[in-house]
Amino acid sequence: MQSVKMLVGTKEAITLVMLFVILGIIFPIFCPERYVINFAFYVLLYTSLALAWNVLGGYVGYINFGSCCFFGVGAYLAAFLIENGISDIWMHIIAGSLCSGLLGLFLGAITLRVRGIYFAISTLALSVVMQMIIINTPQLGGALGMFLVKPHAPAPYPNFTAYLFSWLFGVTLILVIITIYIERSHIGKQLIAMRDDEVAAECIGIPTLKLKLLAAFISCAFMGAVGGVYPYYIAYLEPYTTFSLEFTINPIAMSIIGGTQSWLGPIVGGIVLSSFQQYLCTTISSTLSLLLTGIIIMGIVIFVPDGIIVWLRKRGIPWKRHY
Amino acid sequence: MELILNTIVAGILLGGFYTLISLGLSIAFGLINISNIAHPTFVLAGGYFAYTLYTALGIDPIISGVISIPLFFIIGVFLYRVYNVLIEKRGHEKGLISLVFLFSLLILIEVGLLMIFGADWRSVYTPYMVQSVKVGMLSIPLRMFIPFVIASIVDIFFYYLFSKTFFGLGVRAIAQNPSAAMLMGYNPLKINMLAFGISLASAALGGSLLIMIQPIYPFSDRAFIGRVFAVVVLGGMGSLYGTIVASIILGLVEAVVAVFLGASWSMLISFAILLLTLLLKPEGLFRR
């Protein structure tokens, strides 16, 4: 076990704390306009989903086509808790992450032993099944959805979205720290070995299945945690938008755009693509933004399969390598 | 008794239809090694093709199915060529890139259909679709029976194609050992292009029959992804018999569940079958 200091230096730790204080607390409190904070929340939501997706998709190479499902489970669990009088956000986050994480672990335990394609198909099928279960459960609002009343924001915050932004920023920061830890510790090296050649990795004693399950748990749990913040933000939770294509395709697109090999990739991709999409949604239409996302993914796959960061690095722009 | 008998017949008819939409995937997935998650989307595209011909020219969906075969065959041939250049020659066919490529294809087709046809449910109407044949206690709706018959014809054709012809043997030989097959005078690229074309052509034919069975909307394919992959995995990838047997099993179970528990739960069946197969017998019932 390496010491924590070796994995995250003092300078970086100070940077992270400063980042949290400035962007996560001071920014939402003093944010002048409601639109700005909504925009920032939207970007952060997708960026954190992309980061979570990348833990399994990028590091291990098993593609999750059901991000919306794990996200939706967290969101619906939070909504269920709100309906039953539990309105603490930390409870929603923990409940959502545990529930989605266990769901991912269950699905992973069955499908991660065989070829990667089965995990992809199972998650794709699970998102349809989960949507159908929600539609057929009247206690969770069924097809009509649930209205959730936003409570008043606690003291220094101007509105509730700003308060949620702080929570989501905290969750994202924890996820960033975990992914940095994964990349720099022995786990990251084992994952790289596994991605290069799974049989060879197994032969030198890397517990491949355990690592895959760990990655699946972390990935799905954080999707659930992000989902736990969602119901109060959206205030009206219904199955068709919660399990919509956007939540499945955007995390994949963002990770692929930025590059799947390091934690920086999903963040860069997330910020770039979600700002672009938000711009398109407000100026043109959401269908067109979906179409453009599809075209962008295909373009990236064809022309820069390693993502922007690696592409820039090959052209001499000095991104620091972290692994 | 009457209900049970009718349910069983309905299940077999439904299963027959499932063979048609799964056989193409079984070839793509099991024999030429493309995990084509966009397969059900091509089925849907075939459905919309039939819908377009029906609304524009009043052509019967069966005839538009026949028209769609050469069209989608050419699309498939072209698509495999693109896939080969972009994915296989770069060595991406095993990893994340190939799946993401196919997934973005799925998205583009879905969103394209959404933009062209809108989010409404579309269906066609022909007089024979509402009729049914009564045999004793049984009542067989024609809108289920016709797809079953056509699917059976396609099954027989596929059996002949893949076990008797030079081409079919070539597809299976390349799946087993490409370099040995090349020594026997096969060109893997050409053979696989044709095979993928056939795969998409069968999907399109399935689509034009799908619109007879149920109305469609641009995201209907989602409901079939679980089903076709459950069938292909349960049957054993690339196995013709396996695909047929697994389709009938899935159709039967779905019909029974739809009658006794409610139709909305039938989606859960394919998912359960998929997971149980992966858990208990990941190689499927039959070998290719």
Mean pLDDT of chain A: 85
Show me where the domains of chain B are located: 2-280
- A114-123, B65-74, B237-246, range with the lowest pLDDT: A114-123
Q: What pLDDT shows up at residue A8?
A: 64
> How far is Cα B250 from Cα B276, in angstroms, rounded to an integer?
13
- A10-14, A214-218, B206-210, B249-253, range with the lowest pLDDT: A10-14
Q: What pLDDT shows up at residue B105?
A: 92
Q: What's the pLDDT band for A323 if we cut at 50, 70, 90?
A: very low
Q: Where are the alpha helices (DSSP H) in chain A?
A: 4-7, 10-19, 27-30, 34-57, 67-83, 89-111, 116-135, 160-184, 186-196, 198-203, 208-234, 239-242, 245-258, 264-283, 286-303, 308-314
Whether A204 is in a domain gets the answer: yes
- A61 reaches B (C-beta below 8 A): yes
Contact B270 A111 (CB under 8 A): no
Q: What pLDDT shows up at residue B135?
A: 82
Q: What SS3 state is found at B284?
A: coil
What value does the mean pLDDT take over residues A171-194? 88
Q: What pLDDT shows up at residue B86?
A: 85
Domain of A79 in residue numbering reads as 4-248
- Contact residues on chain A for B101, CB-CB shorter than 8 A: 298, 301-302
pLDDT reading at B53 higher than 70: yes
pTM listed for this prediction: 0.89
- B265 reaches A (C-beta below 8 A): yes
The shortest CB-CB distance from B282 to any of A114, A116, A129 is to A114
The tally of domains found in chain A comes to: 1
pLDDT digits (tens, 9 = 90+) for A237-273: 888 888 888 888 889 989 988 888 888 889 989 998 8
The shortest CB-CB distance from B274 to any of A122, A256, A302 is to A122
Q: What pLDDT shows up at residue A317?
A: 66
pLDDT digits (tens, 9 = 90+) for A16-48: 888 888 887 888 888 778 888 888 899 999 999
pLDDT reading at B12 higher than 50: yes
Q: Among B111, B219, B234, which would you mutate to test the A interface (most chain A Cβ atoms within 10 Å of its Cβ)?
A: B111
The shortest CB-CB distance from A260 to any of B96, B110, B274 is to B96
pLDDT digits (tens, 9 = 90+) for B81-133: 999 888 888 877 677 788 888 989 999 999 999 999 988 899 888 888 888 88
pLDDT digits (tens, 9 = 90+) for A71-123: 999 999 999 999 888 888 889 999 999 999 999 999 999 888 877 788 888 88
| The CATH number, out of the four listed (2.40.50, 2.60.40, 1.10.3470, 1.10.10), of the domain defined by the range B2-280 | 1.10.3470
In 10 A of CB A14, how many CB atoms? Answer: 10
Residue of A nearest to B107 (CA): A294
Residue of B nearest to A125 (CA): B226
- A159-173, A289-303, A309-323, range with the lowest pLDDT: A309-323
Whether A286 is in a domain gets the answer: no
Contact of B9 with B138, CB cutoff 8 Å: yes
Whether A320 is in a domain gets the answer: no
> How far is Cα B252 from Cα B202, in angstroms, rounded to an integer?
22
Whether A102 is in a domain gets the answer: yes
> How far is Cα A52 from Cα A266, in angstroms, rounded to an integer?
9
Mean pLDDT of chain B: 89
pLDDT reading at A4 higher than 70: no
pLDDT reading at A2 higher than 60: no
Look up the ipTM and state it.
0.84
Contact of A222 with A104, CB cutoff 8 Å: no
Q: Could you tell me the two tokens for A198?
A: 């799974």
pLDDT digits (tens, 9 = 90+) for A135-149: 888 888 888 888 888
What value does the mean pLDDT take over residues B2-26? 91
Q: Tell which A residues from 20 to 39 touch B, by Cβ distance under 8 Å.
A: none
Contact B275 A57 (CB under 8 A): no
In 10 A of CB A256, how many CB atoms? Answer: 31
What value does the mean pLDDT take over residues A161-182? 90
